[in-house]
């Protein structure tokens, strides 16, 4: 099955290149460094190779990499990813302390070429970014592969189960799976990962460092006064329409409400700006250095690397990527860490365990688009007791679940020492 997969994969190369070209029409960085995706412009030899597919994985990996660098002075680290936004986060968070490359498309020759150049002692894959040829080629070179901060949704597990001839050898090639929760560990076990290679370590997202951002200073910097601020972070196509549809009802109840809208992907900034203008909400954009006036209803945060800043400003936050069934959600802990009452949609399969735990603790509310969304935002902004309950519950939740970083660090350190 692996041979068939490796033979068929290059047949899709024209489609992969076309997709990259289409995305680059709105984000030119997608067509930069193209040779790296074919295992050209190879990296220097390293001790540790960390694969973090995009932004979320890069943010989660950064504290782990920094802790390993402190524990092993001189540790040479290669970080690979698949997106320009992820590459930018690696540069911002880790700078020149690591080397960054795009991961080649998953053909055995390209993955083997990169492995032969990098010569890592350990390949660390963040969360669930599993590629059959990459893992097989690492195994041929006796390079251990560990899945860190591992998560596996029921839907993903069901998809893997449909291809046992390809998936089981791949999973058996993992020397360690450091699962975020017991349910993830059980799903990996059901797919064939040996119990001895499974550890439940918790989610690194509970241990992410919080930037030193002062709400009062930020409000003064942007001249926002005391008007209520609703931040909607990491929106995807289709979600902005749902958010903007809720705005007339919210503004009728809270006339000075400011919505800060933060799209997930930079190639969509222009289309989101057009949607805001078409709705009659003006054209105030962060990328042009514009600040909202007292009458501005929507401020488009079309910038990169500033999501934490917007969350720190918020009186209430909605973590998007969760209002439509096919998206899977994003990290709800980010606004909670700034003491912000937090909402999300109900389609959160990528973060189901964290969302369920947060809801059970009273630290998060899940909502559907429409009247329910309007009612939840209004309730939090008008009822300080409810907002306070959400803040306190979130603070307790974060404190109770810290420690995953140290547990995963200890496990990974053992592989590096070996």
335 within domain boundaries: yes
* Residue corresponding to tokens 């970083």: 405
Are 244 and 391 within one domain? yes
Are 154 and 291 within one domain? no
| CATH label of the domain that carries residue 174 | 3.40.50.11720
Are 259 and 186 within one domain? no
Are 48 and 120 in contact, with CB atoms under 8 Å apart? Answer: yes
Q: How many distinct structural domains can be found in the chain?
A: 2
30 within domain boundaries: no
Q: In the predicted model, what is the mean pLDDT of the chain? A: 94
Q: Is the pLDDT of residue 393 over 80?
A: yes
Are 410 and 390 within one domain? no
Are 371 and 407 within one domain? no
Q: Is the pLDDT of residue 350 over 80?
A: yes
Q: Mean pLDDT, to the nearest integer, of 316-342?
A: 95
Q: ∠ CA 345-272-224 to the nearest 5 degrees?
A: 80
Are 168 and 221 within one domain? no
Exposed / middle / buried, residue 1 (Cβ in 10 Å: 0-12, 13-18, 19+): middle
Are 82 and 194 within one domain? yes
Are 189 and 55 within one domain? yes
Active site residue 386: no
Distance spanning both ends of the chain, measured CA to CA: 31
> How many alpha carbons lie under 13 Å from residue 294 in its C-beta half-sphere?
2
In the set 57, 88, 239, 334, the catalytic residue is: 57
CA distance 69 to 75: 6
Q: Torsion-angle region of residue 383: left (phi > 0), alpha (psi -120 to 50) or beta?
A: beta
Instruction: Give the range of the structural domain holding residue 332, as residue numbers without chain letter.
Output: 215-400
Are 243 and 391 within one domain? yes
Range scoring the smallest mean pLDDT among 5-9, 328-332, 393-397, 410-414 = 5-9
Each residue of 159-170: pLDDT tens digit?
Answer: 999 999 999 999
DSSP for 12-37 reads GHHHHHHHHHHHHTT-GGGGTTGGGG
Are 377 and 231 within one domain? yes
Q: Is the pLDDT of residue 26 over 80?
A: no
361 within domain boundaries: yes
* Residue corresponding to tokens 């209803």: 297
Looking at residue 144, what is its pLDDT? 97
Q: Mean pLDDT, to the nearest integer, of 148-172?
A: 93
Are 82 and 162 within one domain? yes
Q: What are phi and psi of 379, to 5 degrees?
A: -60, -45
139 within domain boundaries: yes
pTM: 0.86
């Amino acid at each position: 099955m692996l041979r068939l997969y490796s033979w068929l994969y290059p047949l899709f190369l024209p489609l992969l290149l076309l997709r990259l070209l289409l995305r680059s029409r709105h984000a030119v960085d997608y067509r930069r460094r193209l040779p790296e995706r074919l295992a050209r412009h190879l990296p220097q030899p390293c001790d540790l190779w960390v694969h973090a597919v995009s932004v979320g994985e890069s943010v989660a990996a950064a504290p782990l990499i920094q802790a390993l660098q402190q524990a092993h002075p001189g540790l040479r680290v290669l970080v690979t990813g698949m997106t320009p936004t992820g590459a930018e986060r690696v540069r911002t968070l880790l700078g020149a302390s690591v080397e960054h490359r795009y991961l080649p498309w998953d053909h055995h020759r390209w993955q083997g070429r990169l492995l032969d150049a990098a010569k890592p002692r350990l390949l660390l894959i963040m969360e669930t970014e599993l590629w059959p040829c990459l893992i097989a080629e690492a195994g041929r070179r006796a390079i251990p592969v560990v899945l860190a901060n591992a998560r596996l949704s029921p839907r993903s597990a069901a998809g893997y189960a449909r291809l046992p001839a390809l998936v089981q050898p791949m999973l058996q090639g993992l020397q360690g799976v450091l699962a975020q929760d017991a349910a993830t560990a059980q799903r990996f076990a059901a797919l064939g990962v040996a119990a001895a290679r499974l550890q439940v370590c918790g989610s690194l997202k509970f241990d992410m460092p919080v930037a030193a951002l002062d709400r009062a200073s930020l409000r003064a910097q942007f001249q926002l006064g005391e008007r209520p601020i609703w931040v909607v972070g990491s929106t995807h196509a289709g979600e902005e329409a749902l958010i903007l549809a809720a705005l007339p009802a919210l503004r009728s109840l809270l006339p000075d409400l400011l919505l800060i809208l933060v799209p997930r992907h930079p190639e969509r900034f222009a289309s989101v700006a057009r949607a805001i203008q078409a709705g009659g909400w003006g054209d105030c954009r962060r990328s042009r250095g514009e600040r909202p006036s007292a009458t501005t209803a929507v401020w488009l945060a079309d910038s990169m690397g500033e999501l934490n800043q917007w969350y720190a400003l918020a009186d209430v936050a909605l973590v998007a990527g969760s209002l439509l069934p096919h998206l899977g959600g994003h990290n709800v802990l980010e606004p909670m860490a700034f003491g912000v009452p937090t909402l999300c949609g109900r389609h959160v399969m990528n973060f189901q365990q964290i969302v369920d735990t947060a809801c059970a603790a009273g630290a998060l509310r899940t909502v559907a688009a429409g009247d329910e969304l309007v009612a939840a935002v209004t309730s939090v902004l008008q009822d300080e007791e409810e907002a306070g309950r959400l803040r306190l519950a979130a603070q307790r939740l974060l404190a109770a679940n810290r420690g995953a970083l140290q547990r995963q660090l200890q496990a990974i350190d053992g592989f590096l020492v070996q």
